[in-house]
């Protein structure tokens, strides 16, 4: 399909933010489910900016991805074991990932070689509506300074959530939507801050209330779910139908590591909105509105290898929550879903 002028300009803006310069080499990684308009527009944008582009077409992962979800997908992909493809990306300056590579060993190798990676999985209309800006970067980096020196976090809500964690062992995740430095990975569009807690440190209760979003289900909670958390992991999942669904889904993996508390943080995107997910078919979006909307609290479970830990479990949940309050080292950063610091 031909690129539209608006989408082409959006791609040129993104690649400019990624500091793509003339004569740099670019690999566009394409899978079976990559949006054809993105493929066409990215190729044209690379050419118009004077860089050297190459399209690398791979199939999708052997496993079936439920509802087309790839952002919360932590398992081998078609890139796994494909040494020629991996080598090509390690030797380039920028990888435009339209497939969704495994956020594990392959990605780590590419980044360690000095390449930068920008992932794009949202459809064109979401991509253009939430296109990142330098202001997004400034907000995320300001919040990142808070998280980098953080020792503790407490999360509460009027629905009954009250959980504390410690920080210090693992990295901060600063995601502002573009990859502008060697070895940097980012996901466009997005704007949020997060960090992986210390092992065994999470204690308390998380209550998922109606309107909270569970990913990769790509659905809103309808009936409250009470999660009892002790020694860094979920120990009980209580409630009605939604709790039963969540409990049985997680049990399907037969993996205790899937219950561990993973990265925690809050959304910082001014244009993202929690209601957007309800406007799309599940296969049309990877729910970056939900992950990034202003003042959301991100509760997640499962892997922490990306932050420096050892968990690689494929049982990964991202759960953006409404109306929470977040306190870092005794200072409120989010109050009832409104960002007040950073």
Tens digits of residue pLDDT in 291-339: 999 999 999 999 999 999 999 999 999 999 999 999 999 999 999 999 9
The pLDDT, as a whole number, for residue 62 is 52
The pLDDT, as a whole number, for residue 284 is 84
Q: Is the pLDDT of residue 76 over 70?
A: no
Query: Could you give all domains of the chain from N- to C-terminal order, each with its CATH number?
Result: 5-121 (3.40.50.980), 134-339 (no CATH)
- Residue 237's alpha-carbon distances to 163, 285, 296, 304, in angstroms, are 15, 27, 22, 21
Q: Is the pLDDT of residue 2 over 80?
A: no
Tens digits of residue pLDDT in 101-134: 877 778 999 999 999 999 999 999 999 999 999 9
| Mean pLDDT (whole number) for 257-269 | 98
Closest by alpha carbon to 313, among 233, 240, 248?
A: 233
CA–CA gap between residue 249 and residue 169 (Å, rounded):
29
Length of the chain: 342
3-state secondary structure of 83: helix
Q: What angle do CA 215, 218, 219 make, to 5 degrees?
A: 110
Tens digits of residue pLDDT in 160-214: 999 999 999 999 999 999 999 999 999 999 999 999 999 999 999 999 999 999 9
Sheet holding 317-321: strands in order across? 172-175, 192-195, 261-267, 297-301, 317-321
Task: Using pLDDT thresholds of 50, 70 and 90, give the confidence band for residue 64.
Answer: very low
| Mean pLDDT (whole number) for 138-157 | 98
What is the C-alpha radius of gyration for the chain, rounded to an integer number of angstroms? Answer: 19
CA–CA gap between residue 107 and residue 79 (Å, rounded):
10
């Amino acid at each position: 399909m031909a690129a539209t002028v608006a989408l082409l300009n959006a791609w040129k803006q993104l690649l400019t933010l990624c500091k793509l310069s003339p004569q740099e080499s670019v690999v566009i990684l394409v899978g079976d489910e990559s949006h054809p308009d993105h493929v066409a527009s990215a190729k044209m944008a690379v050419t118009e900016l004077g860089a050297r582009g190459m399209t690398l077409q791979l199939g999708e992962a052997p496993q079936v991805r439920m509802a087309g979800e790839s952002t919360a997908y932590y398992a081998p992909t078609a890139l796994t074991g494909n040494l020629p493809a991996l080598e090509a990306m390690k030797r380039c300056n920028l990888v435009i990932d339209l497939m969704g590579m495994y956020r594990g060993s392959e990605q780590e190798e590419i980044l360690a070689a000095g390449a930068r990676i920008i992932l794009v999985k949202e459809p064109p209309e979401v991509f253009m509506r939430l296109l990142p800006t330098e202001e997004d970067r400034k907000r995320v980096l300001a919040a990142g300074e808070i998280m980098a020196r953080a020792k503790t976090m407490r999360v509460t809500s009027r629905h009954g959530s009250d959980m504390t964690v410690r920080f210090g062992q693992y990295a901060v995740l600063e995601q502002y939507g573009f990859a502008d430095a060697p070895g940097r990975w980012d996901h466009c569009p997005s704007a949020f801050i997060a960090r992986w807690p210390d092992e065994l440190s999470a204690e308390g209760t998380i209550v998922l209330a109606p309107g909270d979003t569970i990913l990769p289900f790509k659905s809103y909670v309808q009936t409250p779910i009470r999660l009892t958390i002790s020694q860094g992991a979920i120990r009980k999942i209580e409630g009605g139908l939604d709790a039963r669904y969540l409990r049985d889904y997680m049990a399907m993996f037969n993996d205790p590591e899937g219950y561990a508390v993973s990265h925690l943080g809050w959304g910082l995107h001014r244009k993202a909105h929690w209601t957007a997910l309800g406007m799309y078919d599940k296969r049309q979006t990877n729910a970056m509105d939900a992950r990034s909307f202003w003042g959301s609290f991100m509760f997640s479970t499962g892997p922490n290898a990306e932050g420096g830990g050892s968990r690689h479990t494929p049982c990964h949940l991202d759960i953006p929550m409404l109306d929470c309050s977040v306190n870092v080292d005794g200072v409120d950063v989010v109050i009832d879903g409104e960002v007040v610091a950073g």
